[in-house]
Amino acid sequence: MKERIKSLVGSAVKQAIKEQQLAELPDASWQHQLAWQYATNPGPGFNASGFQVFSQDDEDGKLLYIFSQIGTTNKKCVDIAFASPIGSNTANLIVYHGWHGFLVEGGDMATACQYFHGNRRTNIFPPVMKQAWITTENVNNLILEAGFQGEIDLFSLDIDGIDYWLWKALDAVSPRVMVVEYQDILGPDLAVTVPYKPDFNRMDLHEDFYGASLPAFVKLAKEKGYRLVGANRLQYNAFFVRNDIVSEHLPEVDINTCFTHPKVEEGRKTRFAKVKDLGWEHV
């Protein structure tokens, strides 16, 4: 009973924190001014452009910078593994920049639904939200059924699992920009991923046995026609831009530049050894 009470209290506290964070979000005007400034004067460049509104780290700022340089076509995005606006790579664009999204999550989406249907910026035309377990077998059909097809501006992928295989299977949409989470403890040399399992659960073997290395994603990106343009500040989310979209301010970067943060070095020292022999698949 005590554990049950503790769990209920913990959930209530987490919900209160989320609601408080959402209530404190800033106005959109300064972002629009910043985007206009970037479009006319790129300033210090991609690496210095990060800031956090909804995103887990500084992805909101870096995405604003990218689209200030390359523009938008339809302001459509797909976000796979969207549990809540807080920690999302797409909520800022949806709420403050008029984007339309398809948001998918394998778990509970109550917080997301409550927020978007209750927000005056999104309640008239909220994003499409779907609770579903994503696999290579259903990812394209789910996207098509939601009304998304062909070119979109952004695809964000972060399911802590079979991410590599989902991007490999993706053909329902052609994103201009991809954001994918990579497993930073695997370093800049190994092109590996977890083996494909439709019911993959990162906790089955070890909490760090999930996802794929950045070299694996870079190799796949090149096959699909994308270039790596950088990472978030803490270096676990990689940004790719489609090669037909040219911008002198978004050149391809060396993979090693995405492994310079002290957090990455610490993780490789303390966490990699625990998962290095758990069955990574070379790609």
Q: Is residue 121 part of a domain?
A: yes
CA distance 42 to 166: 33
CA distance 136 to 196: 9
Provide CB contacts within 8 A for 176, sequence distance 6+: 70, 73, 151, 152, 153, 154, 241, 242, 245
For residue 1, name the pLDDT band (cuts at 50, 70, 90). Answer: very low
3 state DSSP class of 154: strand
Q: What pLDDT does 233 receive?
A: 98
Q: What pLDDT does 6 receive?
A: 38
In the numeric block, which tokens belong to residue 58?
Answer: 């500084």
pLDDT digit string (tens) for 31-90? 999 999 999 998 889 999 999 999 999 999 999 999 999 999 999 999 999 989 999 999
Q: Is residue 122 part of a domain?
A: yes
pLDDT digit string (tens) for 122-163? 999 999 999 999 999 999 999 999 999 999 999 999 999 999
Q: Is residue 19 part of a domain?
A: no
CA distance 180 to 234: 14
For residue 11, name the pLDDT band (cuts at 50, 70, 90). Answer: low
In the numeric block, which tokens belong to residue 169?
Answer: 């299977």
Q: What pLDDT does 28 receive?
A: 82
Q: Is residue 5 part of a domain?
A: no
pLDDT digit string (tens) for 200-239? 999 998 999 999 999 999 999 999 999 999 999 999 999 9
CA distance 167 to 192: 14
* Cβ-based neighbour number of residue 171 at 10 Å: 10
Give whole-number Cα distances, 183 to 147, 157, 162, 187, 237, in Å: 31, 13, 12, 8, 9
For residue 185, name the pLDDT band (cuts at 50, 70, 90). Answer: very high
Q: What pLDDT does 17 receive?
A: 47
CA distance 139 to 148: 12
User: 3 pLDDT exceeds 50?
Assistant: no
pLDDT digit string (tens) for 16-33? 445 555 555 567 889 999
Domains: count for the chain: 1
CATH code of residue 82: 3.40.50.150
CA distance 164 to 137: 14
3 state DSSP class of 173: strand
Q: Is residue 45 part of a domain?
A: yes
Q: Is residue 278 part of a domain?
A: yes
3 state DSSP class of 102: strand
Q: Is residue 20 part of a domain?
A: no
CA distance 224 to 243: 9
Q: Which residue from 154, 129, 142 is spatially nearest to 237, judged by alpha carbons?
A: 154
Range of the domain at 202: 29-282
Q: Is residue 15 part of a domain?
A: no
Rounded to two decimals, what is the model's pTM? 0.91
CA distance 255 to 191: 12
Pairing of β 192-193 and β 281-282: antiparallel
